[in-house]
Amino acid sequence: MDRRTFLSTLTGNLLAAPLAAEAQPAAKIARIGLLGGNDPVVSAHLLEAFRQGLRDLGYVEGRNVLIEYRFAEGKFERLPALAAELVALKVDVILATTVLTAVAAKQAIKTIPIVFFAAADPIRSGLVTSLARPGGNVTGLSVLSPELIGKRLELLKQAVPGISRVAILWEPDGGGERTDKDMLKRAEVAGQALGVRLQYVEARGPADFDRAFSDMTRAHAGALTVLPSPMFFNERRHLVDLAAKHRLPAGYAWREGADAGDLISYGPSIADLYRRAATYVDKILKGAKPGDLPIEQPTKFELIINLKTAQALGLTIPQSLLRQADQVIE
């Protein structure tokens, strides 16, 4: 599905909604504002996971709930204006899909409840002051990104036992300055423990990718791990293609990376977080205060190994690692 078709579908839903509302004038129609940072096409499966979560709880778009969609499509400087649009629409709750969108929403309004998901570190990002008692008008779900960096490096070295140098691709401010520093620090500690040298490579946007991969090749990196950021998620297929071109085994934070062709991914299911975000929205629509809803942290992490990519790179994945995998793509 291309962007035009996708957005037309969303617009059609919105146009149909008033008709449904007229047909049931006595029904309370909840209004959700969804603020997204990425291109909606590449996140279509995640948006559908959220809508499925709503349906599981009895909400049907156009009947008892409306969703106002606003997408920055990777142009994050647009987020404050888009957040202001949702505030002007007087939505009942704002769903923010990334840290950057949640920050933009929080800066735009202090009274409308905000639910975020897939936040790397909600405290360091300034969204909440406590996981148990968030306070204010913000709550949601985290992904524990800094805590998982070491595990991803360990799994990557198990998949490619001979590597001595690993490139770390990161986006400055991709997860917020404090979160980025924490992830880089944890990567350094893990690298020392694993006996691998790390090469830190910055990319602020797709225009930097070719230069970044050329730097990795010149430094003789034996593998690559991609730190989580909304931009890297949006551009995952581009990154997979470049990793294949430069014959770099790559590790990713989310299963979407391995699905696209990266060698390995490890982390919580983002689609599951989108589904679970619907439960927070439901509680808030039923009167719960966001500041009283604890931040949910993931307890299950998926290890996905792409054997097709391993074969293309001439790698033999150890059986001990394959046995740990939740899914092997063949």
DSSP string, 27-95: S--EEEEEEE-S-TTTTHHHHHHHHHHHHHTT--BTTTEEEEEEE-TT-GGGHHHHHHHHHHTT-SEEE
Dihedral of the CA atoms 235, 238, 241, 247 (nearest 10)? -70
Pairing of strands 114-119, 302-306: unpaired
The answer, yes or no, to whether residue 19 has pLDDT greater than 60, is no
Residue 322's pLDDT band (cuts 50, 70, 90): very high
Q: Taking residues 214-226, what's their average pLDDT?
A: 96
CATH number at residue 74: 3.40.50.2300
Residue 149 sits in the same domain as residue 246: yes
For residue 137, give the amino acid letter. N
Same domain, 154 and 135: no
88 CB burial (10 A radius; 0-12, 13-18, 19+): exposed
Q: What is the pTM of this model?
A: 0.84
- Let me know whether 42 and 136 are in one domain: yes
Residues 213, 257: one domain? Answer: yes
Q: Is residue 305 very low, low, confident or very high in pLDDT (cuts 50, 70, 90)?
A: very high
Whether the per-residue pLDDT at 70 is higher than 80: the answer is yes
Residue-range definition of the domain harbouring residue 210: 145-267+301-329
**Token representation of residue 135:** 């306070």
If asked whether residues 135 and 170 sit together in one domain, one would say no
**Whether residues 317 and 168 fall in one domain:** yes
- Are 243 and 262 spatial neighbours (Cβ–Cβ below 8 Å)? yes
Name the average pLDDT for the chain: 89
CB 146 within 8 A of CB 153: no
Q: Provide, rounded to the nearest whole percent, the portion of the chain with pLDDT above 90.
A: 72
Q: 171 and 212 share a domain?
A: yes
Same domain, 315 and 191: yes
Pair (250, 288) in one structural domain:
no
Q: How many CB atoms lie within 10 A of CB 265?
A: 28
> 68-77, 149-158, 312-321 — which is least confidently predicted?
68-77
| More confident call, 148 vs 178 | 148
Confidence band of 17 (pLDDT split at 50, 70, 90):
very low
Share of the chain above pLDDT 70, in %: 92
Give the pLDDT of residue 46. Answer: 92
| Domain identity same for 77 and 165 | no
Classify residue 90 as exposed, middle or buried by CB count within 10 Å of its CB (0-12, 13-18, 19+). exposed
Looking at the fold, whether 310 and 278 belong to one and the same domain comes out as: no
pLDDT for 100: 86
In angstroms, rounded to a whole number, what is the distance separating the alpha carbons of residues 27 and 58? 14
Asked if residue 308 lies in contact with residue 84, where contact means CB atoms within 8 angstroms, the answer is no
- Would you say residue 297 has pLDDT above 80? yes
Whether residues 12 and 75 fall in one domain: yes
Q: How many domains does the chain have?
A: 2
Q: CA–CA separation, 249 vs 268, rounded Å?
A: 21
